[in-house]
Amino acid sequence: MTIIETLQSLTNSQGSLLSIQKRLSNTSEIMKDETLQNFVFDLRDYADSLRVVTDLASLNEVKEIEVTEISQVFSEQNQLLRTLITALGELDDNNKSHEFFGMSDGELRRLIGSLQGVLELNSLNLQDNLNFQRLLKERNITINQTTSTTNTEPEKAGFFQRLFGKK
């Protein structure tokens, strides 16, 4: 797998995590429990931390995942991050950092260091996910299956719209 393919896979799996995180944050039973809520926020922070490298690629597809598949996504991302760090390290060792989006040697080394931090976050979230899954099962919490929400209520006008009567 090339560096670009690895990067694309990581970007797509990041989209899946962001999608499940949004569904989790829209589940009131989860957001009422501080422990469960912390995991949802940590999931968002982790997914955002991936942007250090995923902003270099565009999102192709978002595979909708279920809550039980979060561990699998973390494991896949762990492998992708390790592969990416190794490949970027080889570019750095061969003084070919410019081949990765025209980065300088220093930029590439900083990126590798950042990715190692993201890899550590991945490992911590993988462990926290086990507790999260256990709590969901114990409390019999179900997650909304659809991501699209249709708002049947008319949108409320903002303060200035009401004040000036403009839309």
Mean pLDDT within 109-120: 96
Q: Are 126 and 75 in contact (CB under 8 A)?
A: yes
Please name the amino acid found at residue 115: L
Helix 105-138 to helix 34-49 angle (10° resolution) is 160
Domain positions in the chain are 3-139
Give the residue with greater pLDDT, 50 vs 28. Answer: 50
In this prediction, residue 151 carries a pLDDT of: 37
Exposure b/e, 100-118, CB count within 10 A at least 16 = b:
beebeeeebeebbeebeeb
Measured CA to CA, the distance from residue 126 to residue 66 in angstroms comes to: 15
In this prediction, residue 143 carries a pLDDT of: 79
Eight-class DSSP state of 68: G
Instruction: Summarize pLDDT for 3-14 with one digit per residue, the tens.
Output: 999 999 999 999
pTM: 0.81
pLDDT of residue 30 exceeding 70, the answer is yes
Q: How confident is the model at residue 52 (pLDDT cuts 50, 70, 90)?
A: very high
Q: How confident is the model at residue 98 (pLDDT cuts 50, 70, 90)?
A: confident
70: nearest Cα among 126, 119, 31, 134 = 126
Query: How distant, in Å, are the alpha carbons of 10, 27, 67, 156 from that of 142?
Result: 27, 8, 9, 30
Give the residue with greater pLDDT, 151 vs 97. Answer: 97
